[in-house]
Amino acid sequence: MKVTASVDIKAKPQRVWSIVSDIENAGDTISAIDDLEVLDRPTGASLVGLKWRETRTMFGKAATEVMWITDAADESFYETRAESHGSVYVSRIELEPHDDGTRLSMGFEGTPVTTGAKILWALTGWMAKGAMRKALNLDLADIKSAAEG
């Protein structure tokens, strides 16, 4: 399952990057985050290696995932990975400068790897895709509001 969404923000990429790369305080910006705890910090200036536990409410229940940044380029993008319930989840946040500010894009890809997860995804994948699209758009709206406000 792949889902992508984007929004144009009337703010410079540096401003948008300062918001999306501040993982530790993401709960202050993104309304869907109920709790966030940083588990590991990278030793250098790169975001790669940052690991955290994030709780959101999904389908009416608290869902907690451990995520970590696997690749990043300052003021350009970062990718995260999570492994849970027999699936691998990869997400990407990408900034693209344009005349009026920044286009911020988010992508999410979930891949079932166990037999049980493959069966579950076959039965409920369409519902999860819709919920993920809604979540991405809400996160983007929150980030846009913070960057433009």
Domain boundaries, the chain: 2-148
DSSP state of 24: G
The ranges of the chain with pLDDT < 50 are: none
- Contact between 33 and 56 under an 8 Å Cβ cutoff? The reply is yes
The pLDDT value recorded for residue 61 is 84
The pLDDT value recorded for residue 108 is 96
Residue 17 structure tokens: 């990057």
The pLDDT value recorded for residue 146 is 98
Residue 93 structure tokens: 């946040």
Fold of 2-148: Alpha-D-Glucose-1,6-Bisphosphate; Chain A, domain 4 (3.30.530)
The contacts found for 70-78 with CB under 8 angstroms, 24 or more apart, are: 72/46, 72/47, 72/48, 74/17, 74/21, 74/46, 75/13, 75/14, 75/17, 78/20, 78/21, 78/47
pTM: 0.92
Q: What is the tens place of the pLDDT at every residue in 89-118?
A: 999 999 999 988 999 999 999 999 999 999
